[in-house]
Amino acid sequence: FIVLPGTEGMAGYRDYRFHFVGFLKGLGFCLVGAVVIAGLWMTGQAVFLR
C-alpha cells in the first residue's frame, strides 16, 4: 500500500464505504460494457456466419 508523503493518517484511508461504493460502480460499468460488446459480437456472428 502506497501512502503519499504528507498524507499519513488521513481519514480517507479508512473510509471503506467510499472504496466499496467505487468498486460497485466500476463493476457496474464493466458489466454494462461487457454486455454491449457481447451483444455486438453475437449479432455480428449471426449476420456474417449464416
The percentage of the chain sitting over the pLDDT mark of 70, rounded to a whole number, equals 100
- Is 50 part of a structural domain of the chain? yes
Per-residue pLDDT band at 12 (split at 50, 70, 90) = confident
Q: Provide the domain limits for residue 39.
A: 26-50
Q: How far is CA 30 from CA 4, 25, 26, 34, 37, in A?
A: 29, 9, 6, 6, 10
Side-chain half-sphere of 24: how many Cα atoms within 13 Å?
A: 6
Give the model's pLDDT for residue 30.
Answer: 99
Q: Is the predicted pLDDT of residue 1 greater than 80, yes or no?
A: no
Domains: count for the chain:
1
Mean pLDDT computed over 18-47 = 98
Residue 2 has which C-alpha cell?
502506497
In 3-state terms, what secondary structure has residue 48? helix
The pLDDT of residue 31 is 99
Alpha-carbon torsion 29, 35, 40, 44, what sign? positive
Q: Is residue 47 part of a domain?
A: yes
| This model's pTM is above 0.85 | no
* Residue 18 included in any domain: no
